[in-house]
Amino acid sequence: MKTRICALLLIISSMSCANAQNDKENQIKAALLAAPAEARAGAHVYGYNEQGEMITLREGTNNFIVRADNPNQDGFEVVCYPKDVEPFMARGRELRAEGKNHGEVLQIREQEMMEGKLQKPNYGSTLNIYFGLEAKYNQETDALEGGHFRYVVYTPLATPETTGLPSKPNAKGHPWIMFPGKYRAHIMITPIKEEN
């Protein structure tokens, strides 16, 4: 009887390890969808453990970082950005862990960048966001079904006057400046889905 119980526990343990490994691999595959194809093999990958904490799933060897979909949020969203954006992102994670709300995070990071305490993203660094409220990652095809890209191009202190871009989005999906004149200023690009 003890032998059977031990064997059963061993099988269950093996299945749990396989599922955890499979989940890790699926998180990595899904996260890499946000990265340029030529950067995927060497990108640093952040994902989530069973407690919902963000952890490193794979160390990187190039200039790119990707983040897996957060299981604690609705919809699907994976992101990719160059390493110079990481201090900005890491500070946001740190402040949210301290209980700061969205507005407080924006204000604190802005102030710290103005004071030179926080490295701002380089001018032109791009954040790729692959997302969809109803999107689903298909493990068999390694594709996101119903997903769309949105791009953020960091342009610290940029304004409509310095870029020629509007400060508000329009219905045609043209690029626009978000947070103009601030250190967190960036160009937003959300491609419009073509209607058939």
Higher pLDDT, 5 or 84: 84
The b-or-e profile of 164-196 (16+ CB within 10 A means b, else e) is: ebeeeeeeeeebbbbbbebbbbbbbebeeeeee
pLDDT category at 18 given cuts 50, 70, 90 is: very low
CA distances from 154 to 51, 81, 91, 126, 130 (A): 32, 11, 16, 6, 17
Q: Do residues 80 and 35 make contact, with C-beta atoms less than 8 angstroms apart? A: yes
**Prediction pTM value:** 0.81
pLDDT tens digits, one per residue of 128-175:
999 987 777 777 887 778 888 999 999 999 999 999 999 998 877 789
**Residue 18 dihedral angles phi and psi, to the nearest 5°:** -65, -40
Distance CA 27, CA 151 (A): 21
Sign of the alpha-carbon torsion through 61, 87, 183, 96: positive
